Amino acid sequence: MIKKRSKISAEFNTASMSDINFLLLIFFLVSTMFAVEKGLPMALPGQQSKSVKLKKENVLTLQAFANGSIVARGTGPLALHEVQRFIQNKLIQNPKLVIVIETHPDADYGLMIDLLDELRLADAEYISLRTMKTGS
């Protein structure tokens, strides 16, 4: 018996392979998101800086507790998403307001950053960091 030769070519077309590769490359280049690291700048009080006496009505203290709750001194507890609106209102009443973030030593660092972020979003200019005194 004579075997029939198959007429179908067993090779496939590799000429467009590089095009496909380039398309894939460009797709992943565009769709890759790099983790963007950003900074929240602060100026700490140094040794040379003098302490300035502030009037009581120009100071607003936000306290961050170890259980994650936030309390505005004199007003009461606040939810994190309320902070920005609250601070904006306070700043309209008194643009010279200094906001003190008083964090409990056992609180998470992330909570302090959340508060600092909200204050920066509310365009607060004078922010001060303080650690809560415990055992008093």
**Beta carbons within 8 Å of 113's beta carbon, 6+ residues apart:** 40
| Complex with another protein: residue 2 or 105, whichever CB lies closer | 105
Q: Do residues 85 and 130 lie in contact, with contact meaning Cβ atoms separated by under 8 Å?
A: no
**Span of 1-9, 68-76, 88-96, 107-115 interacting with another protein by CB under 8 A:** 107-115
Residue 21 tokens read as 């590769």
**Span of 5-13, 69-77, 92-100, 101-109 interacting with another protein by CB under 8 A:** 101-109
Q: How many residues does the chain have?
A: 136
- Residues forming contacts to another protein in the complex (CB under 8 A) are 15, 17-18, 21, 33-49, 64, 103-114, 116-117, 120-121, 129, 131
